[in-house]
């Protein structure tokens, strides 16, 4: 699995984005967390693992995974602009079937 991390601010919230290529499952994943969330609130804003729209036999997916385009759309939905080269790196990971790689942006 490749893992790519970056931090950003959206509407006064400090966010940690964790995305990458899941080599065994053959798709991308995405997690977005609020780093400054109060303890009584859930810090997880989005996780492809819990996105029920991604579980679809019609789409050929029995596990929650994203294409690069879908991942980019999820970032946009949350007002997040990824670093330059981020999406291309995810595409490269998929093309090369990268595993055991970590990159901080």
27-34 and 13-22 beta bridge pairing = antiparallel
Strands 2-10 and 44-47: unpaired
pLDDT in tens, 33-91: 999 888 888 899 999 988 877 776 666 555 668 889 999 999 999 999 999 999 999 99
Determine the pLDDT at residue 20.
Answer: 97
Give 10-23 pLDDT, tens digit per residue: 999 999 999 999 99
Q: Where are the domains of the chain?
A: 2-96
How many Cβ atoms are within 10 Å of 74's Cβ, its own excluded?
A: 20
> Which residues are paired to 66 by β-bridges?
28
pTM of the model: 0.88
């Amino acid at each position: 699995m490749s893992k790519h991390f970056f931090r950003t601010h959206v509407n006064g919230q400090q966010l940690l984005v964790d995305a990458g290529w899941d080599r065994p499952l053959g798709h991308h994943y995405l997690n977005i967390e609020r780093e400054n969330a109060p303890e009584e609130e859930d810090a997880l804003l989005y996780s492809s693992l819990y996105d029920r729209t991604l579980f679809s036999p019609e789409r050929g997916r029995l596990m929650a995974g994203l294409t690069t385009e879908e991942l980019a759309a999820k970032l946009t939905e949350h007002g997040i602009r990824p670093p330059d080269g981020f999406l291309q790196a995810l595409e490269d990971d998929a093309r090369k079937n990268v595993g055991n790689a970590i990159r901080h942006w």
